[in-house]
Amino acid sequence: MSESALSELTQREQIATRIYPSADEACAYVADAISQLIQQRNEAGKPTVLGLATGSTPVRLYRELIRRHQEEGLSFERVITFNLDEYYGLSGDHPESYRRFMQDQLFDHIDIKPENTHVPDGLAPRTDVFASCHQYEQAILDAGGIDIQILGIGRTGHIGFNEPGSGPESRTRLVTLDSLTRRDAARDFLGEENVPRHAITMGVGTILDARKVFLLAWGESKAPVLAESVEGPQTESIPASFLQLHKNCTFCIDKAAASRLTRERHPWLVGPVEWDSAMIRKSVLWLARKTDKALLKLTDEDYTENGMADLLTEKGSAYNLNIDIFNVTQHTITGWPGGKPNADDSNRPERASPFPKRSLVLSPEPTDDVFCLGGVIHRLANQGHDVTVAYMTSGNLAVPDPDARRAIELINEMGESIQDDTEVKHARLLEQQLNEKGLLGEDTPELRQLKGLIRRGEARSSARQLELAPEQLRFLDLPFYENGRYRRFKTDEADVAAMVKLLEEIQPHQIFTTGLGQDPLSSPALCFDVLLSALKKCKDSAWLKDCLFWLYRGPGAEWEMHEIDMAVPLSPDELEFKIKGIYQHQTQRSQSPSASRQSENSWNLASELNRTTANYYDQLGLSEYEAIECFKRFEPHA
C-alpha cells in the first residue's frame, strides 16, 4: 500500500500503530529496537534502561530476547530494568508475584545483574508505601530515565496498573485493582477471590517520561480498548489513551487486536477501498446494523448518507446490492452441518457427499465443545455422521480445590467401604498434598491427574447429553498443558506428534476447531498452533485434500455477521439439550468464560450468544430462529 493511501486510512489514529500478521513478527521488530540500543550502549560502555511489563503479552518478546542472548551473544550485563508494577501483599517468591514472573520469564535466562533489576516492593508496610514509591521514581531518575518502555494493555484500558481514573500526571503509587482486571487474573490465582485487591504501579506520568514506548497487544479481546486508545479522545476512563501525548510511542499489535480500528473495521469511511466481495459483504451488513434495517429495505439514500456512495455507483443500485448480500447471508443457513445427503449442495456451506462424514470436533478444554457447538454436535450425531470429539488439554488447572477434595473424600470412603488399601492410601496421599500446597501452591502431578480425571468425567457426562457414546471421545492431554501454567505454556514436537496421530487415525472429512485470533499464549491459540503444525506434517495425506475446516469463535464471543460462513439454527428443544450438556461441567460453574465477557451467569452465556446471533439474522430480514451456532470457513493451506 502506498504511503498516502495508508495515511488516508489511518487518519483517525492518534498513535503510530503497526499491525503484524502474528505476535512473533511484532516481537521481532521490538526485539530489534531493544537489541540495537543495548549493543550501541554496550559499545559505548553505557547502561541501557528498560521499563518492563509482565502478563502474557510480553512473554514472546522475552523469549526472543533470551534467544538473542543465547544464540547471538546479546549481553544484558549493562542493562538496568524497572518493572511497571507488583501486586501489593505478595512477596517476590510468591508464584504469582511479578518478581517471580520476571525471574522465570527473563532474568534467570540472561546475564543481567540481579542488583540491576527493579520491581516495586509488594511487601512495603502500608505506612512506608508512599516513601517506597517515591524511592522507585528516584531510582529511575538516578539510572538516567527509561530508554525503552514495554507495555501491555488491560481490557479496562490500563497500562501498568493505572486503572480508569488515572490521570496523565499520576506517579508510582498504591492503587486498587478494577474488578475486570481481577477477573482477568482469576485463572492465574485459581479463583477471583484469591486475586490481590491492590497493587503498586508506576504512574501514567512515569510511563510518559520514558524516551521510547512500545505497547504490545495480541488477540481479539484487546481490540475494543485498543481502538478507543488509538482513535478515541484522551480520557481518564481509558488511561492508555494518554499515550497519545507521547512523541515517540508505537503500538505493535497483531491483526486480531487491530480488528476494531477504523482502517480494519470500516475502511470505506476513511478512504477509497477495493470493493471485492468480502468488503461489499462487510459494508452492507454494517449498513443494515447502522440504519437498523432489514437488508432488503436499504435504500440508495442509506448508502449515500453513510459513506458508501462509490459502492453504489459501482454496483448501480441499492436493489442489486441488497439482493446479493441477502442471498449470500441466506446461503450461510443450514440445518445440515455435515452436508445434506442427496441434495443440491451448490448453495450450501457443506458438501452433500461423502455421507456419512467423519466429523472431528477439537475442543481445547473440555467445556469448549458443548459451549460453542453443542447443538451442532447433537445434530451431526443424529444425522448419522461419525463424530469424534477430541479434548486437546485435560483442563485440570481449572478445577477448584474444593471439587478435588470432594472427589478425594469419595475415593477414600469407597476404599474404606470395600476395604481396598491401595485406594485408601492414594486418597490419603492426595489429601496430604492438597493440604500442604495451600491456597495458591502448585498442584502435584497426582493432584493434576485427579483434577484431569474429574474433567474427563464431566466431559463424558456432557457428551452423553448430546447423545455421544464414550468411545466417540478422545482425551489427548497435550503435554504442553500438563507441564505448564496459564500464560507460561510452551508447545513442542510431542504436542504435534499427538495431534498428527489423531488426525491420521480419524482421517476426518470436516474439522471443527477454534483458537484463531486469540491471545497467543491461551490454550485455544496454542492448540490451534499445534493443529497447524500437525497439518503441515500431514500435507501429503489424501484425506487432507478433501477436508473442510470450520472455525468456531470460542466461549466468550461470537463471529460478526460478515464472518459467518455456516449458521446452524437450533430449536428451543435443542438449545435445552445443549444447556443441559453445559450443566454437566459442575466444576466450571464459577470459572470463565465470563472471564472474557461480563455476564451475570457464565452458564447462560452460550445461550445468550446463540440467541443474539439468531436475532441478527431476524433483524436482517431472514428467518426467525430461537438460536444459532455459527462457523467461519478456514483454509489452512491458503
Which of 56, 465 has the CB closer to ligand F6R? 56
Q: Contact between 84 and ligand F6R (CB under 6 A)?
A: yes
Beta pairing class for 198-201 and 249-254? unpaired
Beta pairing class for 48-52 and 358-363? unpaired
The single residue among 158, 260, 378, 456 that binds ligand F6R, judged by CB under 6 A, is 158
**Closest distance to ligand F6R from the beta carbon of 56 (Å):** 4
Chain-centroid distance of CA 164 in Å reads 22
The one segment of 159-167, 308-316, 434-442, 443-451 that binds ligand F6R by CB under 6 A: 159-167
Which of 235, 330 has the CB closer to ligand F6R? 235
Angle at 160 between CA 158 and CA 166, to 5 degrees: 55
Other residues' Cβ atoms within 10 Å of the Cβ of residue 143? 17
What gap in Å lies between CA 249 and CA 241, rounded to an integer? 11
Which of 206, 329 has the CB closer to ligand F6R? 206
Task: Count residues near ligand F6R (CB under 6 A).
Answer: 14
**Closest distance to ligand F6R from the beta carbon of 155 (Å):** 8
Q: Which helix (H) or strand (E) element contains residue 551?
A: strand 548-551
Positions in 33-72 near ligand F6R (CB under 6 A): 53-57
**Closest distance to ligand F6R from the beta carbon of 110 (Å):** 18
How many Å is the Cα radius of gyration of the chain?
26
- How far does the chain reach from its first CA to its final CA, in angstroms? 21
The one segment of 31-39, 155-163, 296-304, 495-503 that binds ligand F6R by CB under 6 A: 155-163
What gap in Å lies between CA 592 and CA 595, rounded to an integer? 4
**Closest distance to ligand F6R from the beta carbon of 79 (Å):** 18
**Closest distance to ligand F6R from the beta carbon of 89 (Å):** 16
Which of 349, 517 has the CB closer to ligand F6R? 517
Which of 158, 578 has the CB closer to ligand F6R? 158
For this structure, is 71 an active site residue? no
What gap in Å lies between CA 286 and CA 325, rounded to an integer? 11
**Long-range pairs for 401-407: beta carbons < 8 A, 24 or more residues apart:** 401/190, 401/434, 401/439, 403/451, 403/454, 403/586, 403/587, 404/430, 404/434, 404/447, 404/450, 404/451, 404/454, 405/431, 405/434, 407/450, 407/453, 407/454
**Closest distance to ligand F6R from the beta carbon of 152 (Å):** 2
Q: Contact between 210 and ligand F6R (CB under 6 A)?
A: no
Quote the cell numbers at residue 207: 510511563
Which of 85, 137 has the CB closer to ligand F6R? 85
Angle (deg, nearest 10), helices 368-382 and 602-619: 60
Which of 80, 84 has the CB closer to ligand F6R? 84
Contact of 586 with 458, CB cutoff 8 Å: yes
Which of 57, 607 has the CB closer to ligand F6R? 57
Helix residue spans in 73-152 (DSSP H): 98-105, 129-142
Q: Contact between 152 and ligand F6R (CB under 6 A)?
A: yes
Which of 139, 278 has the CB closer to ligand F6R? 139
**Closest distance to ligand F6R from the beta carbon of 153 (Å):** 6
Residue nearest ligand F6R, CB atom distance = 152
Whole-Å CA distances, 167 to 162, 163, 229, 237: 8, 9, 14, 9
Give me the residue label for grid cell 495431534: 499
The one segment of 18-26, 157-165, 563-571, 575-583 that binds ligand F6R by CB under 6 A: 157-165
Question: Which residues have a Cβ under 8 Å from the Cβ of 405 and sit 6 or more positions away?
Answer: 431, 434
**Closest distance to ligand F6R from the beta carbon of 521 (Å):** 8
The single residue among 51, 120, 122, 154 that binds ligand F6R, judged by CB under 6 A, is 154
Q: What type of residue is 369? A: D
The single residue among 160, 508, 554, 593 that binds ligand F6R, judged by CB under 6 A, is 160
What gap in Å lies between CA 468 and CA 470, rounded to an integer? 7
Phi and psi for 204 in degrees, rounded to 5? -60, -40
Which of 204, 273 has the CB closer to ligand F6R? 204
The one segment of 150-158, 381-389, 543-551, 573-581 that binds ligand F6R by CB under 6 A: 150-158
**Long-range pairs for 471-477: beta carbons < 8 A, 24 or more residues apart:** 472/381, 472/387, 472/388, 472/389, 473/388, 473/389, 473/390, 473/391, 474/388, 474/389, 474/390, 474/391, 474/502, 475/390, 475/391, 475/394, 476/390, 476/391, 476/392, 476/393, 476/502, 477/393, 477/394, 477/452
The one segment of 62-70, 146-154, 278-286, 622-630 that binds ligand F6R by CB under 6 A: 146-154
Q: Contact between 491 and ligand F6R (CB under 6 A)?
A: no
Question: Which residues have a Cβ under 8 Å from the Cβ of 32 and sit 6 or more positions away?
Answer: none
**Closest distance to ligand F6R from the beta carbon of 105 (Å):** 11
**Closest distance to ligand F6R from the beta carbon of 270 (Å):** 28
**Closest distance to ligand F6R from the beta carbon of 157 (Å):** 10
The one segment of 6-14, 105-113, 156-164, 494-502 that binds ligand F6R by CB under 6 A: 156-164
Quote the cell numbers at residue 62: 522475552
Which of 181, 322 has the CB closer to ligand F6R? 181
From 13, 163, 231, 574, the catalytic residue: 163
Other residues' Cβ atoms within 10 Å of the Cβ of residue 339? 23
Helix residue spans in 122-259 (DSSP H): 129-142, 179-184, 204-208, 223-231
Q: CA torsion, points 163, 225, 489, 449, in degrees to nearest 10? A: 80
Q: Contact between 122 and ligand F6R (CB under 6 A)?
A: no
* Interacting residue ranges for ligand F6R, rule: CB under 6 A: 53-57, 84-85, 152-154, 158-161
Residue positions annotated with a catalytic role: 163
